[in-house]
Structure formats: structure tokens, C-alpha cells
């Protein structure tokens, strides 16, 4: 039996939380991990809140990987704990998007690879997420999005940036640049997970009441390793036929609050050839 | 190191398709599988289209398992290939529900277990799924649902029964009877998979045109084993924090056709204490 090639996986936010738990799992499974974090001690020390930091991170990962990656887990994120709202927008949306786009060629190099974006249960349960902020992100208008984020506050900036990056990923995933290049791009949406982010938030009494009021039918927060199990699966075998998927792993929070909202039937759209073809077989 | 206990997993529809592929995977991993199928050659030979057949299947699984199960994969299903519409409704909704309910106590026996329902990409892409048929299923009115299914035809019966069972599972999953008893109940929604069901459908020219017109960005059908990898994961480690989840594994079909439809922000509902608490921390 030939020795298996050691896969090379880049992880942003690898110093703590779900990123660190994912790193530990992938290393136990024999992968070579290139960690990127604003905290020191990982392979690449970079601040993804600025375009310059993102360029540096991409260049450093390309150098260390030799220009070919088997997977990328974009787990770096800020929020829920009093972080600066503009930085939340920059890291959670532009930091993820720019690293993905910057490493796309490396992900395409081996002909089959996986990329994973971390969204959040916040996108399904935070009410009235500001559409202007989501749109500014999706249009790539970082300075405008930062201003809107500051105006909305860091909680809204968190929910909107996590919704925008989920939408960006689902749009990109099905295009020739991504699935056409053999890259399975998917979204993992963790529920409340026992990481430093909620731990800092829980030090605030009002925030603790908010989190305490959230229904989590399973009765506890997730362990980081439970989310990392999903990241490892989606970066590996689970990515075989998954493309553009949005996977909420939340202890039942989403089903409890939004269970009737998805899946919903689509409406027949006579003007849409795809629907007509798919349902009647008629030619356009 | 103590020897690990051999898990006992029941699988309906274990003789073919995704059920058979899941059986093969779980057995490779060392599980004891109790297979249920209308085709002979599995441990339990039962027809889930009748209440009597369901009762027999439940009793036979309880007898073989000694009344304790670690997992249940409800993959038995009919449709898309000219099956009788009333039977489609009975097997896909009532067959799944009754087997789950009948085996709930066995799933609760060990304090931690997993149950998985197989839905279908049809629920997200089949237009205008008949709400009356979905409602009749959810109300438990089998004879009425069978009549409506016959009136709508087998394609609609397939989509509606797969939507109804997904909704039933998401409702049940977060309740005390299920997650409160340590049972993680989730839904896997496979895209078009290379099993006997579409193979039979593809023998019909019109149906082949329908399936051929469906966008599958990954460019091919799923292998049964790619769906079975998800079933194995959700029945195992992936079920750690997953509860009431709806997981579409479809090669990009859902993102291509419905990517903007989910996730969507919820609306603030002042009358809803859960939302108010979760977002403001105010007491009711």
C-alpha cells in the first residue's frame, strides 16, 4: 500500500476556539496545518482586519504551502464581546473573503480540495439584520461597511458580517471558479460554543442574560471539539458531494426558533427556465 | 484499554441505495446493524406502507436489539419512479414517523443515541408543494393524506411527504421526548444520488429530461457512499451537538436555486418573549 500523501490545510483563527480545536484534530489525523492568527505562536502572525494584513497572510500561506492547499478553514472572527464594530466587519467578512480569494489558486492546484467558512447561529436568530450592511459587504465596499457597522454597533456588525459571508460563500461555491476547479466550499454555522468569545461576553451581566435566554434544547453550549468534528468532516470526506451547503450545528437552537422557516417550498416561477425544465421537462 | 461496546444501529431501507451504503459503512466500522426492508435478505422483512407492517417492524427490531438502540437511520422511501402515490405518502411519512416513535424508548435506553431521517432535495426545489398534503401528514391523517397524494400524483406525493417528515423531525427533535432523552434527531437531505430510484426514473424519457435539467454544479450525481458518509457521521460523532438540523448534501443544487432563500434574518417579534429576551436581555 502506498503511503498516503500528507494533506496541507490552512486555518485562520487557529490560536483559539473552534480554530484551535480544528487544528488539534487535523494534526492528530496527520495533516500539515498552517495556522494564521493575530495572536503569536502560529505559523503565520497576521491581522486580518486590514487589507495589508490579509495580503501578508495570503503570501505567507502560499510560501509555506508551496502554492498548493488541500483545505482552508476560515474560522478567524471577532464579535459578541465588545470588539470594535468596524474591526468585526473587516475580519468577519473581508478577512474571510480576501483570504479565500487569495488562496483560491492554491486550492485549485491539486484538482480536489475543500474550503470552509464559519458563519454563526446569529444569522438565523438575530432579528432584523441590517440589509444595508449586508449589501455593503457583498458589494465589497469595506469603508462603507465599516461605517455602517460602527453606526449599528458590534452585535449587529457580528450578525450582518456572518450573514454576508455565508451568502458570499454560497454564491461563490457553485461557480466555475470554485466547484468548477474542484473546490468544495461550504459554510458551518456553529451554535453557542464554549470558546473565549462567549466567555468574555458572559462577564457582562446584561450579555449573560441574553445568552442565558437563548433556547438551547440540548441544554448546554457546544464543546469546541464538537464543532471541530464538523470542520474536520467538511474539510475531508463530508466534502465529497457537499457544495454551497449551510450547516447549522447548534444544539437545537435553530430548529426551536426557526424550524418552520426552512426548508420551505419554492414557488413556481414560469419565467425561470430552470424551474420549468426541472419540473416539467419542457424545453425552454 | 477497555474494549469498546459494539453499537447497535437499525436501518430501514437497508437493502438498496443510501440505506445499503450506510449499512456497509457502519458494519466496516464495527457496528451491529439491524436492517429492515421490504426486499428479502435483511434481518427484518417488513412493508412500511401499512400500519401493520410498521408495528411488525418495530416489534422485530425491539426483539433483535433487546430494547436498546444506539442509532436509527430511517432511509426507507419510495418515489420518483412511478410508485403508487398513496404508498409514497405512507412509506415516506407515516413509515418513518411510526418507526421513529415506536423505537423512541429503545433509543432512550442508553441515555445517548442518534436518529436520522432522510428527506430529499425535492423539498427545496419542487415548486408549490401542496400544503394540504403536508398538513394532512403532520396531523397524522393517513387516509386523507393518501387520498390527497393520489390526487396530486406521485411526484408531488414524494416532495410533500419528504417535506412533512423533515418538518416533523425538526419539531420533535427539540422536545423533551427526544433531545430531553439524549436522542439527537437530525435530517439529511440528499441531492440526486446514483441509486435504483433515479435509475428507474431515468428510463423514462420525460423524467430523464427533468433530471437532466436540474442544475448540479458539481457536475454529477452523488455516489451512495458519499451520502452514507454523512449518515455515518450524523449517527456518530457529528451528532454530538447537532439537534433538529436539516443538512442538504446536494452537489450545489440547493445553493444554485435557493441560495438567497436561506439563511434569512428573522424579524423582531415584540410579542415573542424568546426573541426579546435573546436580543435585549429584558425580562418578560
Print the SS3 string covering A161-177: HHHHHHHHHHHHHCCCC
Q: How far is the alpha carbon of B56 from chain A, nearest alpha carbon, in Å?
A: 31
Instruction: Tell me which chain B residues have a C-beta less than 8 angstroms from the C-beta of A115.
Output: none
pTM of the model: 0.94
Interface test with A, best of B112, B156, B206, B265 (most A CBs within 10 A): B265
Catalytic positions of B are 158
Find the CB nearest B241 among A175, A191, A264. Answer: A191
Nearest CA-CA distance, residue B282 and chain A, Å:
8
Q: Which of B157, B252, B280 to mutate to test the interface with A (most CBs of A within 10 A)?
A: B252
Show Cβ contacts of residue A126 under 8 Å, excluding neighbours closer than 6 positions: A155, A156, A158, A159, B265, B266, B279
HSE-up (13 A, CA, CB side) for residue B179: 28
Percent of chain B having pLDDT more than 70? 93
Of the candidates B67, B57, B50, the one whose C-alpha atom is nearest the C-alpha of residue B13 is B57
E strand spans, chain B = 8-12, 32-37, 44-45, 71-74, 113-118, 183-190, 246-249
Interchain pair B263, A262: CB under 8 A: yes
Q: What is the mean pLDDT of chain B?
A: 92
- Name the closest residue on chain B to residue A264, using Cα atoms: B124
- Give the model's pLDDT for residue B267: 87
List the single residue in B with minimal CA-CA distance to A163: B263
Cβ-based contacts of B206 with chain A (< 8 Å): 281
With CB atoms and an 8 Å threshold, state whether A257 touches B274. Answer: yes
Mean pLDDT by groups of 10 residues along chain A of 284 residues: 80 97 98 98 98 98 98 93 91 98 97 98 94 98 97 95 98 98 98 86 78 90 98 97 98 97 85 48 43
Contact check, Cβ <8 Å, B243/A218:
yes
Q: To probe the interface with A, which of B128, B255, B284 has the most A CB atoms within 10 Å?
A: B255
Confirm whether the ipTM is greater than 0.90: yes
Cis peptide before B200 (omega within 30 of 0): no
CA of B61, closest CA in chain A: separation in Å? 27
Q: Nearest residue on chain B to A131, judged by CA atoms?
A: B265
Q: If we measure between CA atoms, which residue out of B272, B176, B179, B273 comes closest to residue A209? A: B273
Asked whether B192 and B253 are in contact (CB, 8 A), the reply is yes
3-state secondary structure of B118: strand
Which residues, 6 or more positions from B176, have their beta carbon under 8 angstroms from its beta carbon?
none
**Dihedrals φ, ψ of A54, to 5°?**
-65, -45
Chain A residue numbers with beta carbons less than 8 Å from the beta carbon of B162 are none
Question: Which residues on A lie below 8 Å from B263 (Cβ)?
Answer: 119, 123-124, 163, 166, 189, 246, 248, 262
pLDDT for the residue A282: 47
Q: Which residue of A has its CA nearest to B193?
A: A241
Verify whether the Cβ–Cβ distance B173 to A243 is below 8 Å.
no
Structure confidence at residue B3 (pLDDT): 60
Q: Which residues of A are less than 8 Å from B218 in CB distance? A: 179, 184, 241, 243
As given in the structure block, the three cell numbers for residue A127 are 432579528
List the single residue in A243, A250, A263 with the smallest CB-CB distance to B217: A243
Q: Distance from A8 to chain B by nearest Cα, in Å?
A: 22
Q: Which residues pair with B185 in a beta bridge?
A: B115
pLDDT confidence of residue A3: 60
CA distance B74 to chain A (A): 19
User: Which residues of chain B carry a pLDDT beneath 50?
Assistant: 1, 271-278, 281-284
Across the interface, whether the CB atoms of B174 and A259 are under 8 A apart is answered yes
**Residue A247 bears catalytic tag:** no
**Residues of B whose CB is below 8 A from A124:** 263, 266
pLDDT of residue A145: 98
Q: Chain B: residue nearest A193 by CA?
A: B241
Q: How far apart are CA B39 and CA B45, in angstroms?
A: 7
* Cβ count near B203 (within 10 Å): 11
**Cα distance from B255 to chain A (closest Cα, Å)?**
5
The per-residue pLDDT for range B79-107, each reduced to its tens digit, is 877 789 999 999 999 999 999 999 999 99
Nearest to B213 among A167, A206, A278 (CB): A278
Interchain contact, A265 vs B163, CB within 8 Å: yes
Chain A positions in Cβ-Cβ contact with residue B256 (cut-off 8 Å): 174, 244
Return the residue in A202, A265, A273 with the most chain B beta carbons within 10 A, the one to mutate for interface testing.
A265
A150, A271 in Cβ contact below 8 A? no
Distance from CA of B59 to the nearest CA of A (A): 29
Return the pLDDT at A284. 36
Q: Exactly one of A93, A126, A158, A275 is catalytic; which is it?
A: A158
Amino acid at each position: 500500500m502506498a503511503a498516503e500523501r500528507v494533506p496541507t490545510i490552512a486555518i485562520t483563527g487557529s490560536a483559539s476556539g473552534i480554530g484551535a480545536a480544528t487544528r488539534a484534530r487535523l494534526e492528530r489525523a496527520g495533516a500539515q496545518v498552517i495556522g494564521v492568527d493575530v495572536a503569536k505562536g502560529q505559523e503565520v502572525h497576521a491581522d486580518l482586519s486590514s487589507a495589508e494584513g490579509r495580503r501578508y497572510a495570503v503570501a505567507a500561506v502560499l510560501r509555506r504551502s508551496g502554492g498548493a492547499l488541500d483545505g482552508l478553514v476560515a474560522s478567524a472572527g471577532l464579535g459578541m464581546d465588545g470588539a470594535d464594530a468596524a474591526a468585526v466587519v473587516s475580519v468577519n467578512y473581508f478577512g474571510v473573503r480576501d483570504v479565500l480569494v487569495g488562496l483560491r489558486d492554491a486550492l485549485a492546484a491539486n484538482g480536489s480540495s475543500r474550503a470552509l467558512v464559519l458563519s454563526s447561529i446569529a444569522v438565523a436568530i438575530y432579528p432584523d439584520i441590517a440589509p444595508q450592511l449586508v449589501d455593503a459587504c457583498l458589494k465589497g465596499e469595506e469603508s462603507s461597511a465599516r461605517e455602517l457597522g460602527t453606526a449599528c454597533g458590534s452585535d449587529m456588525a457580528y450578525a450582518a458580517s456572518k450573514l454576508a459571508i455565508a451568502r458570499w460563500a454560497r454564491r461563490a461555491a457553485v461557480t466555475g471558479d470554485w466547484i468548477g476547479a474542484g473546490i468544495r466550499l461550504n459554510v458551518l454555522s456553529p451554535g453557542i460554543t464554549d470558546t473565549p468569545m462567549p466567555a468574555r461576553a458572559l462577564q457582562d451581566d446584561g450579555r449573560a442574560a441574553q445568552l442565558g435566554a437563548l433556547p438551547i434544547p440540548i441544554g448546554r453550549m457546544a464543546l469546541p471539539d464538537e464543532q471541530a468534528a464538523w470542520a474536520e468532516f467538511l474539510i475531508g470526506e463530508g466534502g465529497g458531494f457537499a457544495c454551497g451547503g449551510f450547516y447549522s450545528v447548534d444544539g437545537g437552537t435553530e430548529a426551536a426558533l426557526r424550524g418552520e422557516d426552512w426548508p420551505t417550498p419554492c414557488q413556481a416561477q414560469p419565467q425561470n427556465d430552470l424551474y420549468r425544465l426541472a419540473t416539467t421537462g419542457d424545453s425552454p
